[in-house]
Amino acid sequence: MRAVTWHGRHDVRVDSVPDPEIVNPRDCIIKITSTAICGSDLHLYDGYIPGMRAGDILGHENMGEVVEVGAKSTLKKGQRVVIPFTISCGSCFFCSKQQFSACDNSNPAETADPSEIAYGHSMGGAFGYAHLTGGYAGGQAEYLRVPYSDVGPIVIPDGLEDDKVLFLSDILPTGWQAAVNCDIEPGDTVAVWGCGPVGLFAIQSAFVLGAHRVIAIDHFPRRLQLAKSMGAEILNYEEVDVRDALNEMTGGIGPDACIDAVGMESHGMSVDNIADTIKAHTYLGTDRPHALRQVILACRKGGRVSIPGVYGGMADKFPIGALMEKGLTVKSGQTHVQKFGRKLLEMIGEGKLDTTFLISHRSSLEDAPDMYRHWHDEQNDYTKIVLKPDMAKGDIKTTKELADVDA
């Protein structure tokens, strides 16, 4: 089959590789119908995530049609399923607490050991995300093997097209969990750093969960415009001092809850961020936590901090004093997709959540290397890219063209 593979920093290719096979009775194989490129794939593209090997198949936002089932899979051939990016056994200590992304069984010991050294405990498994998370092949390919197919996959009813449900695999539940982790109370103001896909879905989710006001922070005009269209007030950090502006907008108190949907590759030209960037490029540090520093300093006393943004290693100049003295509550973590997926599917079916507005480009697998480059270099125009294996090479559809076709 054809698959999108990683070969090093800024080197993504499309290779012919062996088709996946059932290796455990609980597995199934799906034929991919849609797979998205995630913001966190850019961390792989930029070479910041350890444990990638040349030839690894990328992709953790996957859906498709079941074409083969193991003896203990609960799925049937022909079903359409969305696959959570987290791989979870469903029955270990963590899975039974619905902390699915912490699954203790899905990451084989031989690959989990480095993450145990780095993080104190080993990570759960994930698709297409380096050997520290199990080394599982991703789904930016024609076919995907799905382990524990009796636990994770979300069966999609007929009538809900791929574009409406694909993001149940990751970014929608990730945005949702980010808002849930804010413990939103009536009247709350929630500030969101980063209007990428997760930030935008966190904004949408915060309103659904009862936030009175949401303030969105970014510098890409198109992304800020999308945030505004969802009802958020917007701040362009290139035009204003974010902390001053937030204080002014909240009567000097600060936002009740703050979401860092930026993560380890913060943009911007602040002094701390320039120092972090130099350290990252010289391998003296890994993460650039500028947004997180600002979140902690901006949040009101006694407020809540939610971190869906991905961090990988060590952060420098972390304002632990502000965190402790202000009595902030911090919640974080990879998403427990299996906990939220079915509820969110219901809300999509009822029209309470719509995520299709985010997709800016659709293309074939063969065009993926170009799409990675655009996604990396043109974040204003490329808000979300969906790869469809049945599209022809070179047939790239932008939202505008699709709208024209629809009209």
Q: Which residues of the chain form contacts with Zn ion (CB under 5 A)?
A: 38, 40, 88-89, 92, 95, 103, 105, 170
Question: Which C-beta is closer to Zn ion: that of 68 or that of 170?
Answer: 170
∠ Cα 6 9 15 (to 5°): 25
Tell me how far, at minimum, the Cβ of 158 lies from Zn ion, in Å.
Answer: 26
Is 62 within 8 Å of 144 (Cβ atoms)?
A: yes
Tell me how far, at minimum, the Cβ of 271 lies from Zn ion, in Å.
Answer: 31
Tell me how far, at minimum, the Cβ of 372 lies from Zn ion, in Å.
Answer: 14
- C-alpha to C-alpha distance for 61 and 125, rounded to whole angstroms: 14
Question: Which C-beta is closer to Zn ion: that of 124 or that of 255?
Answer: 124
Structure tokens at 171: 């970014």
Structure tokens at 224: 């800020």
Question: Which C-beta is closer to Zn ion: that of 198 or that of 206?
Answer: 198
Question: Which C-beta is closer to Zn ion: that of 87 or that of 245?
Answer: 87
HSE of 364, CA atoms in CB hemisphere, 13 A: 11
Q: Which of 91, 178, 86, 90 is nearest to 124 (CA)?
A: 86
CB-closest chain residue to Zn ion: 38
Question: Which C-beta is closer to Zn ion: that of 170 or that of 367?
Answer: 170
DSSP state of 141: B
Tell me how far, at minimum, the Cβ of 285 lies from Zn ion, in Å.
Answer: 24
Query: Based on the number of CB atoms within 10 Å of its own CB, is 343 exposed (0-12), middle (13-18) or buried (19 or more)?
Result: exposed
Tell me how far, at minimum, the Cβ of 110 lies from Zn ion, in Å.
Answer: 18
Dihedral angle of Cα 208, 210, 215, 220, to the nearest 10 degrees: -10
Question: Which C-beta is closer to Zn ion: that of 38 or that of 348?
Answer: 38
Tell me how far, at minimum, the Cβ of 46 lies from Zn ion, in Å.
Answer: 15
